Amino acid sequence: MPELRKGVRRGRATLAQLEEQGEGQKQTRKRNQGQKRAAAAAERGRPRTRLAAKRLKEEDNRQVLVAEAVGEDLNHNPQVIEISERDSDIERKELVKADIEKKGAVMGDDSGGLSANKAAGQEEEGSTAPFPEKVQVGGSPTYKIERKLGKGGFGQVFVGRRVSGGNERATGAGALEVALKFEHRNSKGCSYGPPYEWQVYNALGGSHGVPKVHYKGKQGDYYVMVMDMLGPSLWDVWNSSGQAMSAEMVACIAVESLSILEKMHSKGYVHGDVKPENFLLGQPSTAQEKKLFLVDLGLATKWKDSSSGSHVEYDQRPDMFRGTVRYASVHAHLGRTASRRDDLESLAYTLIFLHRGRLPWQGYQGDNKSFLVCKKKMATSPEMLCCFCPPPLKQFLEVVVNMKFDEEPNYSKLISLFDSLLGTNPAIRPINTDGAQKIIYQVGQKRGRLNIDEEDGQPKKKVRLGVPATQWISVYNARLPMKQRYHYNVADARLAQHVEKGMADGLLISCVASCTSLWALIMDAGTGFTSQVYELSPSFLHKEWIMDQWEKNYYISSIAGSTSGSSLVVMSKGTQYTQQSYKVSDSFPFKWINKKWREGFYVTSMATAGSRWGVVMSRNAGFSDQV
């Protein structure tokens, strides 16, 4: 017998009520299922909403540095790192794309720029052990960890307060509050022991403009540095000043920054990441509140050899970027070895940003952001960039962007550029400029103009003398975006494997060159050629092989000769040429070229091998005139 339902008897529901009830149950089931899915997704680390999924997908597909169209061929492994903050709204926004390579990581910075670190990796949230409540390292007093000051590619910084002792007015090791910098032992910068930054602070710490490290050591899973407590960064000051700074303030920052960089460079280091966030003032209401400091030495590198004192050798690796996209020098974008000129170019962009409040290359997004920023920097003249700035900023930028790789900056003359913007009384300047005044005093009171010599009251242009530079120079033509890569210092035995790999990837040779019997070649996907052959011959421009390829409708598209007399000849189908001729001569063939010009030929390639010249001339080359 069926069991009777207990309780008060309900009236029979109408059809409409039943339908409504059924719909309600469906909605409840859907809601419960959605909650279960969201919970499961949260456990698996998946996004809960379509918007979050879309953002995640966009960030996952984004590459921080793209070498398309400028000769860089990169193989990156993108990862998405979720960076959580105390504010829940910030937590929802902060999905930062990190491109972590074998030797580094790329990360976002507070200013909206992008920082790349090739020496030490970024810590991943959730993968590190909790921070200790108290710290004592290297014989230091015991400090209690308080509020968080900041976070970057080289760890996190907290306020440390002495548990006992200490003087609230004191500075240095006896201070009541210090800055504690933590770096996890599993971060890439600690792969071989203590952080690389410790070495730099050992060499620079306590020198002019660099905070002193009082204690350092390892506690638990963290390497810890105990440093001087500092005040706001120039980024903070800029924000609180209506996002613009006066000409005098910027001039004070310029001369004091130059004095700090001069001291750092004199010890053999370049900073590598000069930007507003890395310049800090002293603590407010102390004797150092107007003193400028340069921090975050994790990207610092040596510009000269410690033992010999000679400048490091020039190199270029487009897959290696160091610094912050917004403020990095053009040379850093192109992967060139860092030298003193790069710090000064980054300082110029920093000063212009602080004065104007914006740089023309801000706001770029997408996969090729770094390339677009680099292209914009190269296309923006000092006159255009500094059109709303005082003249000294333009003069400073013109000097530093034209410096040579190993050129020694004239710091005193660079400082003197800003004399007209500084107040006459150093005591009332917004920034302490004692360091700059010392440099000026050391070189005397004489002020010289940059890049000119005075002779009989007339400016005389300087001429740079010296041996030719032994470095590769790449020239790019304006054309549609393409995939491009280059190889340099290639020996004869390895040439074939590079060419075959490029051709398998859909690339063809567009340019070749040689130096000291080594080869360089550029391959790209936008040549317009349909087919290509090449020959590496011990003789200079092997005649029989070239004649055979002409019979097959191939034309010479690029040539190069080595000092040993050998040559690399590349011939392609799909060129616009209709007829071709070439000449090998012990001297430059002026008469032959003039004769061919009259016949409608134009020079399309040339090379040397030892003391011999090789010149290729073609009909229908697309030129209207040639000299």
Q: What amino acid positions are annotated as catalytic residues? A: 273
Contact 495, 536 (CB under 8 A): yes
SS3 455: strand
CB atoms within 10 A of CB 166: 16
**Residue 389 phi, psi (nearest 5):** -115, 160
Beta strands in 360-472 (DSSP E): 452-455, 458-461
Composition of the chain by helix, strand, coil, percent to 5 = 30, 25, 45
Distance from C-alpha of 79 to C-alpha of 62, rounded to nearest angstrom: 9
DSSP code at position 315: -
DSSP output for 268-284: TEE-S--SGGGEEEPPT
Distance from C-alpha of 278 to C-alpha of 275, rounded to nearest angstrom: 6
SS3 610: coil
Query: What token pair was written down for 461?
Result: 């242009």
Contacts of 611 (CB under 8 A, 6+ apart): 586
DSSP code at position 130: P
C-alpha distances out from residue 246 to 52, 128, 341, 433, 454, Å = 41, 43, 26, 16, 33
**Residue 289 phi, psi (nearest 5):** -65, -20
What's the angle, vertex CA 122, arms to CA 118 and CA 124, rounded to 5? 150
Distance from C-alpha of 196 to C-alpha of 296, rounded to nearest angstrom: 11
Distance from C-alpha of 332 to C-alpha of 169, rounded to nearest angstrom: 42
Query: What token pair was written down for 56?
Result: 């995640």
DSSP code at position 338: P
Nearest to 202 by CA among 256, 268, 258, 145: 268
Beta bridge partners of 523: 485, 509
The answer to whether 181 is annotated as binding is yes
SS3 155: strand
- Residue 544, CB-side half-sphere exposure with 13 Å CA sphere: 2
Query: What token pair was written down for 78?
Result: 């993108």
Q: Is the dihedral of CA 355, 361, 367, 370 positive or negative?
A: negative
- Order of strands, sheet of 323-324, starting from the edge strand that comes earlier in the sequence: 105-108, 114-117, 323-324
Query: What token pair was written down for 415?
Result: 């400082």
SS3 374: helix
Contact 570, 532 (CB under 8 A): yes
DSSP code at position 193: S
**Residue 234 phi, psi (nearest 5):** -65, -30
Query: What token pair was written down for 611?
Result: 């003391």
Contact 233, 278 (CB under 8 A): yes
Q: Which secondary-structure segment (H or E) carries 264?
A: helix 247-266
Distance from C-alpha of 260 to C-alpha of 257, rounded to nearest angstrom: 5
Known binding-site positions: 181
